[in-house]
Amino acid sequence: MEFSVIIPTLNEEILLPNLLSDLQAQTLRDFEVIVADAGSQDQTVAIATRMGAKVVPGGMPAVGRNRGAQAASGNFLVFLDADTRIAPNFLEQVYNELEERFLDLATCEIEPISTHPLDGILHDFTNLAIKIGQFADPHAPGFCIIISRRLFRRIGGFNEKLKLAEDHDLVKRASQFRPLRVLNTARILVSVRRLEKEGGSITNLV
């Protein structure tokens, strides 16, 4: 199997179905979906199961992502969040670039699920920061990390002792062995609820 798409969840019954529907519509079919649930009290688990995902016990983001990776059988792990959206050819584009560029570690540019001009500006700055940083200070948001399973295992996965920035920590450790690169074709749509909840800052995206 080429890809294991891993989605950590906690009470995501509203947004998760959108991403799962996007996954069902993928042009590349060689993948599995794993939902690592941290004890949702709503219909998240039932929805995930009904829509064909494998559900495993999760926890804090690092724990959930690691548990999902433990259950994965794909050559590459694709970490997405429940509030993201992807185009029907997303996985196909990812596969083509990974193959053409011989990549083991990647992320992608993001677009906001919003029509507010400020949201677009903040996301553009985020993309620029990640693209510049890939060569000197590699980091990537947890809602879009693509890593080969062998590299993930080599570095021991996410550091479960970290409650913040566990995604950046993983990328920094992984990039000691293989470079992080930003994909040129594949992009994801991301919810602006992080900005609405925590304030409009680039640090809330990266």
Domain ranges of the chain: 3-204
Q: How many angstroms separate the Cα of 168 from the Cα of each of 39, 51, 52, 143, 163?
A: 25, 30, 30, 11, 12
How far apart (Å, rounded) are the C-alpha atoms in residues 1 and 138?
Answer: 28
Q: What is the mean pLDDT of the chain?
A: 93
pLDDT of residue 201: 45
Which CATH topology does 3-204 take? Spore Coat Polysaccharide Biosynthesis Protein SpsA; Chain A (3.90.550)
| 160 Cα distance to chain centroid | 17
Assign 119 a pLDDT band (cuts: 50, 70, 90): confident
User: Using N-to-C axis directions, what is the helix angle for 61-70 and 166-174, rounded to 10°?
Assistant: 50
Task: Specify the residue for token string 């906690």.
Answer: 10
87-96, 125-134, 188-197, range with greatest mean pLDDT: 87-96
pLDDT of residue 197: 56
Q: What is the mean pLDDT of residues 91-101?
A: 98
How far apart (Å, rounded) are the C-alpha atoms in residues 59 and 55?
Answer: 13
Pairing between β-strand 31-37 and β-strand 84-86 as defined by DSSP bridges:
unpaired
How far apart (Å, rounded) are the C-alpha atoms in residues 164 and 122?
Answer: 21
